[in-house]
Structure 1
Amino acid sequence: MTTTYDLLVYGQNVLTENGLGPAQVAVKDGRIAAIEALVDGDPTLGTDAATVRRLGDDEVLIPGLVDTHVHINEPGRTPWEGFDTATKAAAAGGFTTLIDMPLNSVPSTVDMDALELKTGIAQEKSFVDVGFWGGAVPDNADQLAPLHQAGVFGFKSFMVNSGVEEFQHLNTEQLKQAMADIPELDGMIILHAEDPDTIDAAPEPDGRSYAAYLASRPQEAELAAIDTVLDGARSTGVKTHLLHLAAGDAVAKLAAAKAEGLPLTVETCPHYLVLKAEDIPDGATAYKCAPPIREGAVQEQLWDGLKDGTIDAIVSDHSPSTLDLKDLEGGDFGAAWGGIASLQLGLSLIWTEAKKRGFSIADVVRWMGTNPAEIVGLQRKGKLAVGYDADLVVFAPEETFVVDAEKLHHKNPVTPYQDQELSGVVHTTYVRGAEVDFQTPKGAILTKGNN
């Protein structure tokens, strides 16, 4: 009996669980139905498929990437970013799944009303699949169980001022309580780990000096907070994910914690792996984020952490704002919003840097697709494997382009990568077997345990 497939993609460079090589991938009803070798360079599966895509000699088929750290900001701060623009940017950059942070939307995703509001908006506007984090903030302990039951992927908390009034950080005692409560739900806590006392004792960041801003959020703030996090994970057993690691000095500490058997995963971001403090001009507030971009020697420690597996994932921490909030003209690092918009560029940024260091496209996909999916429990994402969602990306790794913020799908045209030449261009993105056309949103809402 011949099976008629919806889509067949084949070529000489397909990244499956067996590595990179010739293969054919057949899709039926949004899932990968079969993966087989080519015969004399030709496909044998579904040649009568509704759509057949032969890869060019310069193209590689990879699984859709998964970004578990994105601030989409809708509702409430939609001028900063929204589901329409963010998910178009994701698809254009090779990402087929996003998990949205509980801030900086208004209301924050800290109760069921906010989650239902955000879910309804996302269902109408998303071009890729979207799930949600909940927030653990002071005074919302009674909302954690309902949010968990509704399918949030875990709970985010800040250990320092979040930068927005409506999402307050947890003090030490509140954090201990959250870390004790969340395991009862079989949930995960994800943490912005900077120590407020260390930051309070540091110099003020006011002014145009990037060195002054860097000194205002030293590595010691991350290191002190990480000690608190590890103590909490050790005493409660809570699944713990450390967000946006920028402190290279923490890598050895985190490696030891993993060796100890703590339930810990760690992410970092493209800006920490590509940009260096030494190269940031004074007044260039497009580079401002928290924790800050650190020196080249620190960057090398982060790459070492990726190489040895201490750092599990690379995510964008896409945190955009309007142009005025970045204070591009004034250049005051104390006044400017701290966040970098890089969702559409992440794959190309990391591939450009990784290949210089001898890493493969398989390494990049593991850091940006497979591992993020596994960390949050996405059971059918991040791999080209039978039974997985047919999230496919046709990628040209040697094709280059020059970054032009005006041509990105991000709502606000500001990026620290302006005019950089990058390698790697996404030619086509499929979400559950359907090509993203940037006209009709077809993304689905994902929930924990039903994805």
Structure 2
Amino acid sequence: MAFDTIIAGGRMAENNQPLDMGITEGRIAAIAPAGSLSEARDMIDASGKIVLPGAIDIHVHIRAPGFSERGTVETETAAAAAGGVTTLFEMPITDPCCNSAERVAVRRQHFATRALVDFGLFGAPADLSETGVSALTRAGVIAFKIFTTAAPEGRAEEFEGLAYPDEGDELKVLEAVAKTGRVVVVHAESEQLLNHFGTLGRTLDPSRAETHICMRPALCEAVAIARLLTLNIKAQAKLHFAHISSALSVDILRRFSGTSDFSAETCPHYLFRTVEDVERSGVDAKINPPVRYRSDQEALWSALDDGTISHVATDHAGFSLAEKQAAKDNFPAAPPGSPGLEMLLPSMLDAALSGRIGLARVTELLAANAADRFGLKQKGRIRPGMDADLVLIDPNGQTTIDPKRLLTQARAVSGLYQGMVFKGAITTTLVRGTTVAHNGEIVAPPGTGRFVSPDDIFCPTQSGGSQ
């Protein structure tokens, strides 16, 4: 049998034996002992390499063309490809907000000719009628997103349909989305407590990272999570919590185990960085919720170990250097966000190669669990019939985070990770069998990526097929 591509002699996370992998028409067609497969148009020598499923980053902000100074679809999907991310889900905070079927179509078209990796789009449930949420579902949104906080001042257009600080409205969202079968993802912080602690924080030194934590303590996150989980006992939606940052929130998640269908994610900055690192980096490293303490970091690793947290995502949110520097030494005023697409897989790979977590568990946290939770049946695993979204890893290499080498347009504000050295190096990234990145260079054209959606609906691609 002839294949389009054979990846020869690589080792998978679940099996330490050298294997050959045959790829045909963008999917894995065969997996066999090394040396078994030989006929193909292209051969990729993976001897000495680890072959992993491409990461699915379920939490990304790109926001172009409205804020192209922070990054474009081309630059940020290039960063994704170089970082081993083969599918990303974009949050709906754009200008205007991605809150209707018509805006999903516009957003999808903007990505279609520019994306280097596959992409899904979140929708904001601005219209909670059955007609409104059904229209977004039929448009192919990967999931719905809301905040339990008010829209930031001056950003009403970006947050139209996203901001639900009232718990009665939160219940309505959960009940409306439950009928669609889609996941509803929540940025959970209590608006009332943020206002309370924000007032207290005005007396503190704004240049200190600790001030940011005092103004957004773990209690704000945990209270909102507990409220939503209580509401979901009634609503029974598929609920997902974004960017869990604290030991207190982990405790709340455990206490509600089994009460409804919910899941949670954390991010590399909470797993590998602490407030001391933020202090050294300055406002470049301001993120909401804040990067906290060593005790929170250890609790998050424990939650990954026992399954309380089942996803690791980036919350990639680039800003321009000018935007960050406009609030230099002023954490309360600085825009929240940091680039992360090129740090996700390298950081978690380092944890695996250092013995902190199993490599097979990393593939679950970064790929398989996302595919299962969000309904992408062809992605997330290395098996015959699955999309050939693959990353080749040199376990003897290393990755140094150097802004000069990053492909994200937000490289100038990547100070939170600057200088970090991770064990292992990504050598090659394939999206549906096409090599898109090799040794940090992009080798595929824009438009290689395709729109993806939960597999319970038909989603035509640019070529007329289905995901």
TM-score, length-scaled by structure 2: 0.90
- Give the corresponding residue for 1:417: 417
CA contact (8 A) 1:209 1:282 kept: no
Rounded to whole Å, the distance in 2 between the matches of 1:140 and 1:92 is 41
Is the aligned partner of 1:427 residue 2:427?
yes
Matched, 1:446 2:452: yes
Structure 1 residue 72, shift from structure 2 partner: 1.2
Query: For residues 175-232 of structure 1, what are the alpha-carbon distances to aligned partners after superposition, in whole Å with 9 as ceiling and x for unaligned?
Result: 1111111112222211000001111110336721111111000010011101111012
Shift of 1:12: 4.8
Query: Residues 294, 436 of structure 1: CA spacing in aligned structure 2 closer, same or farther, 3 A cutoff?
Result: same
Residue 241 (structure 1) aligned with residue 251 (structure 2): no
Residue 362 of structure 1 is aligned with which of 357, 360, 363? 360
Give how far 1:73 is off: 0.7
Q: Report how many residues are paired.
A: 439
CA distance in 1, matches of 2:135, 2:310: 29
1:398-448 Cα offsets, whole Å, 9 max, x none, are: 311321112211112221111222222211111111111524121111122
The residue that corresponds to 2:28 in the other structure is 32
The question of 1:378 aligning with 2:376 is answered yes
- 1:72 counterpart = 2:72: no
Deviation readout 1:59-89 (Å, 9 max, x if unpaired): 2111111001000112311221221011111
- Cα–Cα, structure 1 residues 162 and 382, in superposed 2: closer, same or farther, change >3 Å? farther
Give the alignment of 1:16-415 within 5 angstroms. Answer: 18-38=14-34, 43-45=35-37, 47-57=38-48, 59-103=49-93, 105-137=94-126, 142-163=131-152, 164-166=155-157, 167-168=159-160, 169-170=163-164, 171-202=166-197, 203-204=200-201, 207-258=206-257, 260-281=258-279, 284-327=282-325, 330-413=328-411, 414-415=413-414
C-alpha distance after superposition, 1:245-271 (max 9, x if no partner): 00211223212323x241001100000
Consecutive unaligned residues of structure 1, counting only runs of 5 or more, are none
Contact 1:84 1:125 in 2 (8 A): yes
Counterpart of 1:444, as a letter, is: R
Equivalents in 1 of 2:387, 2:208: separation in Å? 47
Decide whether the 8 Å contact of 1:245 with 1:268 is kept in 2.
yes
Answer yes or no: is the 8 Å Cα contact 1:67–1:368 preserved in 2. Answer: yes
Q: Does the CA contact (< 8 Å) of 1:137 and 1:157 recur in 2?
A: no
C-alpha RMSD of the superposition: 1.8
More deviation in 408-417 or 294-303?
408-417
Provide structure 2 residue ranges, at least 5 long, that are not aligned to the other structure.
459-466
Letter in 2 for 1:76: G
| Greater CA drift, 134-143 or 244-253 | 134-143
Instruction: Report if aligned partners of 1:19, 1:362 keep a CA contact under 8 Å in 2.
Output: no
C-alpha deviation, 1:139, in angstroms: 7.1
The question of whether the paired residues in 2 share the 8 Å contact of 1:70 and 1:316 is answered with: yes
* Structural mapping, 1:1-16, within 5 Å: 3-15=1-13
Q: 1:271-316, CA deviations, whole angstroms, 9 ceiling, x for partnerless residues?
A: 0000011333267011100000010011100000000001000000
Q: What letter is aligned with 1:378?
A: L
C-alpha distance after superposition, 1:109-166 (max 9, x if no partner): 1012211111111000011111111012477875321010111011100001354322
Shift of residue 374, structure 1, vs aligned partner: 1.3
* Contact 2:127–2:133 (CA under 8 A) maintained in structure 1: no
- CA shift at 1:327, angstroms? 2.3
Aligned-pair distance for 1:337?
0.7
Secondary structure, counterpart of 2:317 in structure 1? coil
SS of structure 2 residue aligned to 1:232: helix
Provide the rounded CA distance (Å) in 1 between the counterparts of 2:408 and 2:248: 33
SS at match of 2:316: coil
